[in-house]
């Protein structure tokens, strides 16, 4: 039977404080200490001694507790509970601790590991603690976190879509607006392939441009179109910039501005520029643009092309007698009569105050005459004003078709116009046809 007695905490401290162990513990760059079961120091390395007070030696702190040197205020209860779990329950605790250090005049943050210290029999005789000062690291993390929150706030409130996509086609970042377009939370976008969030053909088309940018390092700026989560087509202006090293991999940073409203405004302005605001049919400028195109098409394919020129009879007298609001109703009602008799491919336009033209692609002279007569008869049955049921509306029609001798569309237009004036000279409310093979005049 051994006659040696079990080492006391003081014996252990003495062993640790001498020789190579002391040198090692003083140079590890961490605060190393041991305590007895009551929390009193049995060992402290040089970093601990310097922390507790200037010029302190080991013998000055042995038998004393941390709170004899440092006022930890509200943290004392937490510290005592942590020590109790180690000393009474035998738990190993790893946690962040913050203490106000008087010698430094500031609060420092530590990452501390505390473990029970046991004798050869396994009984707990004290505690060993190792702490690393992470104050600067914590400040840096807090600063980075604040900057990230600031950046996220800015990017989430931009009127645009912002993303980062890696060379593996996975999204590394997405702001709130992009998430709304995809109809998913941001957490369900980051880490996903582009083909998981968009139709495969759309994703592949985008990736073809992305791969080119990654290979060349060239930025891209251009217009894109996407179908959003609600099935609506949206238009965007995209600026994409390669970043050669984003978290260790090449990536692309994209800023996309939604220009759908601008597109709609542009389309509306174009529509207004080509449309008569009162009747909704094409205006004179639009009519001639389309007519030139149809003339060239007819010449190229050898297909017929006809035109009907129309003038509402005695419109000035009607306008003066009943007033402009009734005159507007007459024009609108007449436009409806015409459109109801035409195909989608036909072009109906208001070319003057009460003057209208109809362009009939792939239509010969005889068929154009039939169409003109149908519209003329419909016009006689129209009663545009309920307040004036006696109001009778009639119109005169001139019909012509493209002929071999016509050098341009204006030759056809002039011939249809002559036919119209001939109808007015005949007494109005009739159709006159001018052409190489003229059908019977109505």
What ranges in 89-175 are assigned the alpha helix state H? 135-157
Cβ(333)–Cβ(312) below 8 Å: no
What is the CA 274 to chain-centroid distance, rounded?
32
Residue 119 buriedness (CB in 10 A; 0-12 / 13-18 / 19+): middle
In angstroms, how far apart are the furthest CA atoms of the chain?
A: 144
Dihedral, 46, 48, 52, 56 alpha carbons, nearest 10? -20
| Phi/psi-derived region of residue 55, left when phi > 0, alpha when psi is between -120 and 50, beta in every other case | left
- Angstrom distances, CA of residue 326 to CA of 2, 316, 317, 332: 125, 12, 12, 10
- Locate 128 and state its tokens: 């060993």
List phi, psi (to 5°) of 236.
-135, 150
Spatial separation of the C-alpha atoms in residues 431 and 426, rounded to whole Å: 9
Cβ(433)–Cβ(369) below 8 Å: yes
> Beta strand pairing status for 171-174 and 124-133?
unpaired
Active-site residue, 354 included: yes
- Angstrom distances, CA of residue 284 to CA of 250, 273, 411: 55, 10, 16
Spatial separation of the C-alpha atoms in residues 419 and 414, rounded to whole Å: 9
Residue 283 buriedness (CB in 10 A; 0-12 / 13-18 / 19+): middle
Spatial separation of the C-alpha atoms in residues 141 and 402, rounded to whole Å: 80
Q: Which of 345, 341, 367, 349 is nearest to 433 (CA)?
A: 367
- Locate 37 and state its tokens: 């079961």
List phi, psi (to 5°) of 282.
-65, 150
The catalytic position among 188, 208, 354, 355 is 354
Give ∠ CA 412-413-417 in degrees, rounded to 5: 115
Spatial separation of the C-alpha atoms in residues 399 and 441, rounded to whole Å: 10
Cβ(64)–Cβ(41) below 8 Å: yes
Active-site positions read: 354
């Amino acid at each position: 039977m051994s006659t040696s007695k079990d080492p006391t905490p003081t014996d252990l401290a003495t062993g640790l404080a001498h020789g190579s162990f002391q040198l090692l513990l003083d140079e590890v760059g961490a605060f190393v200490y041991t305590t007895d079961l009551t929390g009193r120091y049995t060992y402290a390395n040089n970093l601990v001694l310097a922390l507790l007070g200037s010029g302190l030696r080991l013998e000055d702190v042995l038998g004393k507790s941390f709170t004899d040197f440092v006022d930890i205020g509200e943290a004392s209860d937490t510290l005592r509970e942590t020590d109790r779990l180690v000393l009474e329950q035998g738990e190993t605790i790893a946690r962040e601790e913050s203490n106000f250090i008087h010698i430094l005049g500031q609060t420092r943050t530590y990452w501390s590991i505390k473990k029970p210290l046991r004798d050869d029999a396994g009984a707990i005789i004290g505690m060993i603690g190792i702490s690393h000062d992470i104050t600067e690291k914590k400040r840096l993390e807090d600063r980075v976190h604040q900057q990230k929150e600031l950046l996220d706030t800015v990017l989430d409130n931009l009127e645009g879509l912002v993303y980062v996509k890696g060379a593996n086609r996975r999204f590394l970042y997405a702001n709130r607006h992009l998430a709304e377009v995809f109809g998913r939370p941001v957490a369900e976008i980051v880490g996903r392939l582009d083909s998981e969030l968009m139709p495969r053909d759309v994703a592949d088309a985008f990736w073809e441009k992305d791969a080119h940018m990654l290979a060349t390092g060239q930025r891209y700026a251009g217009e894109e179109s996407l179908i959003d989560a609600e099935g609506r087509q949206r238009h965007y202006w995209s600026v994409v910039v390669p970043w050669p090293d984003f978290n260790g991999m090449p990536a692309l940073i994209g800023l996309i501005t939604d220009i759908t409203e601008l597109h709609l405004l542009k389309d509306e302005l174009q529509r207004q520029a080509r449309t008569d605001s009162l009747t909704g049919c094409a205006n004179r400028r639009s009519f001639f643009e389309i007519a030139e195109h149809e003339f060239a098409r007819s010449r190229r394919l050898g297909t017929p092309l006809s035109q009907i020129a129309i003038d509402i009879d005695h419109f000035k007298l009607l306008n003066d007698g009943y007033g402009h609001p009734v005159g507007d109703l007459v024009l609108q009602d007449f436009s409806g009569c015409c459109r109801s008799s035409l195909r989608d491919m036909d072009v109906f336009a208001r070319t003057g105050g009460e003057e209208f033209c109809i362009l009939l692609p792939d239509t010969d002279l005889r068929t154009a005459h039939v169409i003109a007569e149908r519209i003329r008869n419909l016009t006689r049955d129209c009663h545009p004003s309920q307040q004036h049921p006696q109001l009778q509306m009639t119109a005169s029609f001139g019909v012509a078709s493209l002929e071999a001798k016509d050098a341009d569309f204006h030759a056809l237009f002039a011939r249809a116009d002559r036919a119209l004036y001939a109808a007015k000279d005949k007494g109005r409310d009739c159709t006159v046809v001018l052409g190489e093979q003229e059908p019977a005049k109505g």
